[in-house]
Every structure is written in C-alpha cells, then in structure tokens.
Amino acid sequence: MLLFSYDVTSLFTNIPSTETIDLAVNAFFESNAGLDFRLNKIQLNEIFNFATSHTHFNGCFYGRIDAVAMGSPLAPMVAIFFQGLL
C-alpha cells in the first residue's frame, strides 16, 4: 500500500463550483439516496449554489461568483468531490 498527501494552492477559490455542484446533484439523484427526497434537482442545485458561494461573517453575507466561498460549511465536501473527479 502506498500512502501520500498533497497540497493544492487556493483550492476552494479554484473549484469550478457550478459544474461541480451540477455533477454532485446528478450523482445524488442517480444513487438510491435521491429516491425519497422531497426536493427536485433544480431546488437542490439552488441550495447547494447558495450554501457554497456565500458565507456569513459579522452579520453580513459575502459571495463568490464562480468558486467555493472560504468558510462555507459545504466547501470541504465540494472540494473533495471535485478532487475525486480529477
């Protein structure tokens, strides 16, 4: 077995969030997890986009245009999913 790690410079700000979220939502609904889900693909996509492109700090929302916002709770999951696609 071979174990290694690597560092990606500015990972969250370099993730193409729109494409990655589209792929994640499609993968979710293609799996069995999406069978009894009450939201449709468009609704889940909008929630993911808001949750990954906006962050709340000091009473204000700050957003990114096409990247994952630093401090977003979903940012690590989206980053791991994106890296798994490479």
Tokens of 65: 């245009």
Residue type, 9: T
Share of the chain above pLDDT 90, in %: 10
Q: Which helix (H) or strand (E) holds 69?
A: none
- What is the model's pLDDT at position 43? 94
Cα(65)–Cα(38) distance, integer angstroms: 28
For residue 61, what are its two tokens? 């929302």
Res 61 pLDDT > 80 = no
- Per-domain boundaries in the chain: 12-85
pTM of the predicted structure, to 2 decimals: 0.72
Reported as a single tens digit per residue, the pLDDT across 37-58 is 888 999 999 998 888 887 777 8
**What does the pLDDT read at residue 83?**
84
Is it the case that residue 63 has pLDDT exceeding 80?
no
Please report the pLDDT score of residue 11 as a whole number: 79
